[in-house]
Amino acid sequence: MCRGLSPAIGSTIERIEFPDIPYRPIVTTPAPSQWAARLVGRTIVGIERIAKRVVILVAPGNSANKTISVDSTDKPVGCEALQEHRAEADRIVFQPKMAGIAMISNPPSAVHTRVVLHLSGASCDRILYWDRRGLGTAHIWTPSECDLYLGPKVLGPDALSITAEAFAQAFRNLKRPVKPALLDQRLVAGVGNLYASEILHRSGIHPERKCDRIPLKSWQSIHRSMQEILLDAIAHEGSTLNDGTYRNAINGEGGYQNHHRVYGREGETCLGCHRSTIVRIVQSQRSTFFCKTCQPR
């Protein structure tokens, strides 16, 4: 999503719209009536990611940026003005949760569009937040508020930056099953339910195995698989499942669903051992998929 929104960098926010739709509104702070006063006339100077949230950096006043430099890796993208204004830039934070999408093109359905930032001066004329289930959130936070709600006291280190040593230290003494533990954003931030199943299959670890029964060498394998799979999923623009809810920023499908080894494949032959079939269980009210041969208990 962050890479998909990058054409908006350097644009000026001209107008804020909260469409009138027949569904409950998403959680927003401040109130929708206050968004225009906070944002209109200001320049978008960067797009970042904090765990599973999109963060749009908005420079103070009408600070213009002249040079846009987009990084194709999973790193912050922005312009030369970003560092100058970053310390005092407000953040627009979208948390998509189960079915939200931050987009720059026509959404899957207009009736579920929650917020629209109308823009000028860049190669796209809007950023919109679309959410079919209405579970996501949208906030304007100052830097200090962002640190309060998404800082190290709330979220663990990012899954793509944490070292193998710190990763093992965070988990290896827990008496919890490993799959639900990987979803605990206080321990490591950025791993979702789908990818946790894929990570454990690649690592050969049973999802119900207790963390304190997993040796250090296996934690190193889980760490390596986690970073490989997440980077690969980002390169393929995420996973669009059978319900079609997830789309990329230009309303296209992601491609990583074509690389799933276990998720959503209950009853199908394992692509690893080619002998067992994929099993589905429920852990902490979330579906887990695994292979009993590749991931022995």
* Sequential DSSP letters for 121-182: SSS-SEEEEEESS---EEEEE-HHHHHHHHSTTTS--BTTT--HHHHHHHHTT--SBHHHHH
Q: Where are the alpha helices (DSSP H) in the chain?
A: 2-5, 35-39, 81-86, 143-150, 164-171, 178-182, 193-203, 216-235
Q: What is the mean pLDDT of the chain?
A: 91
Percent of the chain with pLDDT over 70: 92
- Under 8 Å between Cβ of 56 and 72: no
pLDDT at 79 over 70: no
pLDDT band, residue 243 (cuts 50/70/90): confident
Q: Measured between alpha carbons, how far is 139 from 54 in angstroms, rounded to an integer?
A: 11
pLDDT at 210 over 70: yes
The predicted pLDDT at position 52 comes to 93
pLDDT at 72 over 50: no
Q: Can you say whether the dihedral through the CA atoms of 292, 293, 294, 297 is positive or negative? A: positive
Q: Structural domains in the chain?
A: 2-150 (3.20.190.10), 164-291 (1.10.8.50)
pLDDT in tens, 254-277: 999 999 999 999 999 999 999 999
The predicted pLDDT at position 87 comes to 75
Q: Measured between alpha carbons, how far is 85 from 62 in angstroms, rounded to an integer?
A: 11
Cα Rg, the chain, nearest whole Å? 20
Q: Is this model's pTM higher than 0.75 or not?
A: yes
